[in-house]
């Protein structure tokens, strides 16, 4: 009979060493990605400069809303598959590094590469030529090639890939495993390693060149942003003509396949769509006129609403209740939310602006829903959270640009 072999030390080390590290791993993109890879049995190291986020995550609690994430987090923590560090030296020896840090635009609406440069300046000493570095943040076209040259100039030649994140915030756990993954890389070897790696979670990979993949991501977001702008402009046009936009909208769509893709009107904002449209605009020498126009329309919607309300109501004597301060329904993310732009503009026009949201945390101005309901004379549904569906507004006007509950007033 063959003797049972003792587990080797090498094997024990392999199961405890990280298979990959996620840079920015406590963020909205990084953490769900970490969970999905850990859920597939990989050992994942979460590296983030914001180590204040770690204690909560280590307790099995998500720092933001993400469907299906909390049970998966608790499961992979219990399995010992998720580890945390704010010390970049822990990244050396980890074979795969995925970068998911924020890529904001600056005050001139131009891409700000400084964050990416600072990030890599800190990581370079711990990057080796054997590692696969995967850029996943949404980047300005050409960034992957720039990063390759930048690392080379510092004597580092890791395999380099760009594999954009295309999830809808809040649905990452499901979508990461459902949709094809676009992959690109600066060498065939890097491309094949990235392909094999993402096939652990995604059903299919689609190979592109780095700049094609960078464009693909930016085109996706700009396309959506422009679609929302069209709906918003049609809404404003119909509303200004004294018509109920949604009677027209429903008639246009009923049993008419060509219009099924048209979205409803609504605040189009959040951390990605405007920013990414502006990245393309900057790339195209400010001649991406559709993108610019979409920005004027979408960002102009709160101004339009305020103007219409000022003409129709005695705003200086009215308290306005803003319902939903997150950038979209069923989200706790207030980043770049147009609800806050509306609040700012209305504060100068109305007697008082009261705000509420069942999910957003950290905004000390927020009031309980009951208080806003009791004290407001007029309501604006900014983010159509389900909590607002069956409310009794007692005959007071409700502005519902989304037509979420069919209670909207023409203003
Ligand atoms: N939020 C989305 O739904 C979404 C979807 C697709 C793509 N993206 C893109 O993904 C990227 C990240 O977006 P996000 O919403 O997750 O941002 P986020 O701010 O939620 O997360 C970024 C994380 O990176 C960390 N970080 C910043 N600089 C760092 C550094 N130098 N080293 C280590 N950690 C660092 C931050 O502390 C934060 O935890 C952006 O490029 C964004 O455009 C976002």
Same domain, 252 and 369: yes
Q: Which of 191, 208, 225 delimits the end of a domain?
A: 208
Is position 409 within any domain? no
* Cα–Cα distance, 293 to 399 (Å, whole number): 24
- Regarding the beta carbon of 411 and ligand 1, being less than 6 Å apart is answered no
7 has a pLDDT exceeding 80: no
Say what the pTM is: 0.94
* Cα–Cα distance, 143 to 150 (Å, whole number): 10
- Ligand 1 centre and the CA of 377: distance in Å? 39
Is position 233 within any domain? no
Is position 228 within any domain? no
Same domain, 26 and 153: yes
Q: Which of 160, 189, 208 delimits the end of a domain?
A: 208
* Cα–Cα distance, 315 to 269 (Å, whole number): 25
pLDDT of the residue at 16: 56
Same domain, 268 and 348: yes
Same domain, 194 and 252: no
Quick: pLDDT tens for 222-263: 999 999 999 999 999 999 999 999 999 999 999 999 999 999
Please name every residue paired with 23 in a beta bridge, in sequence order, or none if there are none. 47, 99
* Cα–Cα distance, 222 to 355 (Å, whole number): 30
Quick: pLDDT tens for 53-82: 999 999 999 999 999 999 999 999 999 999
The token pair at 260 is 């099924």
Is position 407 within any domain? no
* Cα–Cα distance, 180 to 271 (Å, whole number): 23
Same domain, 190 and 118: yes
DSSP 408: P
- Regarding the beta carbon of 208 and ligand 1, being less than 6 Å apart is answered no
* Cα–Cα distance, 101 to 92 (Å, whole number): 18
- Regarding the beta carbon of 332 and ligand 1, being less than 6 Å apart is answered no
Please name every residue paired with 135 in a beta bridge, in sequence order, or none if there are none. 99, 162
Helices 289-312 & 273-283 angle (0-180, nearest 10): 140
Same domain, 150 and 293: no
Closest C-alpha among 343, 351, 347, 394 to residue 373: 394
Same domain, 201 and 249: no
380 has a pLDDT exceeding 90: yes
Domain coverage including residue 127: 15-208
Which CATH number is 386's domain given?
3.40.50.720
* Cα–Cα distance, 85 to 374 (Å, whole number): 47
pLDDT of the residue at 8: 38
Is position 220 within any domain? no
Same domain, 203 and 287: no
Quick: pLDDT tens for 258-290: 999 999 999 999 999 999 999 999 999 989 999
DSSP 111: B
Same domain, 253 and 352: yes
Is position 410 within any domain? no
Same domain, 55 and 193: yes
110 has a pLDDT exceeding 70: yes
Best mutation site among 47, 90, 91, 100 for ligand 1 pocket (most ligand atoms within 8 Å of CB): 100
Is position 2 within any domain? no
> What's the domain count of the chain?
2
- Regarding the beta carbon of 184 and ligand 1, being less than 6 Å apart is answered no
Q: Which residue has the tokens 């949404």?
A: 138
Same domain, 118 and 48: yes
Same domain, 114 and 249: no
Is position 3 within any domain? no
């Amino acid at each position: 009979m063959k003797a049972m072999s003792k587990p080797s030390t090498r094997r024990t080390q392999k199961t405890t060493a990280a298979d990959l590290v996620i840079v920015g791993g406590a963020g909205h993109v990084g953490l769900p990605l970490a969970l999905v890879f850990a859920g597939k049995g990989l050992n994942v190291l979460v590296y983030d400069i914001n180590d204040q986020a770690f204690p909560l995550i280590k307790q099995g609690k998500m720092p933001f809303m993400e469907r299906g994430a909390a049970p998966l987090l608790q499961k992979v923590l219990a399995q010992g598959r998720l580890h945390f560090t704010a010390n970049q030296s822990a990244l050396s020896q980890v074979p795969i590094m995925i970068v998911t840090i924020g890529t904001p635009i600056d005050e001139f609406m131009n891409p700000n590469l400084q964050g990416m440069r600072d990030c890599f300046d800190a990581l370079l000493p711990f990057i080796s030529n054997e590692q696969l570095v995967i850029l996943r943040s949404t980047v300005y076209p050409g960034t992957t090639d720039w990063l390759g040259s930048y690392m080379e100039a510092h004597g580092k030649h890791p395999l380099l890939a760009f594999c954009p994140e295309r999830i809808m915030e809040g649905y990452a756990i499901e979508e990461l495993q459902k949709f094809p993954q676009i992959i690109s890389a600066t060498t065939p070897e890097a491309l094949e390693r990235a392909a094999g790696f993402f096939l652990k979670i995604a059903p299919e990979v689609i190979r592109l060149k780095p700049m094609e993949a960078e464009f693909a991501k930016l085109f996706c977001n700009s396309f959506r942003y422009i679609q929302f702008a069209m709906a918003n402009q049609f809404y404003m046009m119909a509303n200004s003509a004294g018509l109920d936009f949604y009677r027209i909208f429903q008639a246009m769509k009923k049993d008419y396949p060509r219009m099924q893709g048209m979205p409803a009107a609504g605040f189009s904002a959040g951390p990605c769509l405007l920013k990414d449209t502006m990245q393309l605009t900057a790339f195209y020498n400010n001649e991406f006129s559709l993108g610019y126009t979409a920005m004027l329309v979408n960002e102009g919607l709160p101004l339009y609403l305020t103007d219409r309300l000022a003409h129709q109501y005695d705003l200086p004597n009215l308290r306005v209740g803003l319902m939903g301060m997150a950038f979209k329904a069923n989200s706790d993310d207030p980043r770049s939310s147009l609800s806050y732009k509306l609040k700012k503009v209305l504060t100068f026009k109305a007697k008082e602006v009261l705000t509420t949201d069942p999910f957003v945390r950290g905004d000390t101005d927020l009031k309980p829903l009951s208080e806003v309901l009791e004290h407001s004379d007029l309501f604006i549904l900014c983010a159509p959270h389900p909590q607002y569906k069956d409310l009794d507004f007692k005959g007071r006007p409700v502005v519902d640009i989304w037509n979420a509950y069919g209670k909207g007033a023409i203003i």
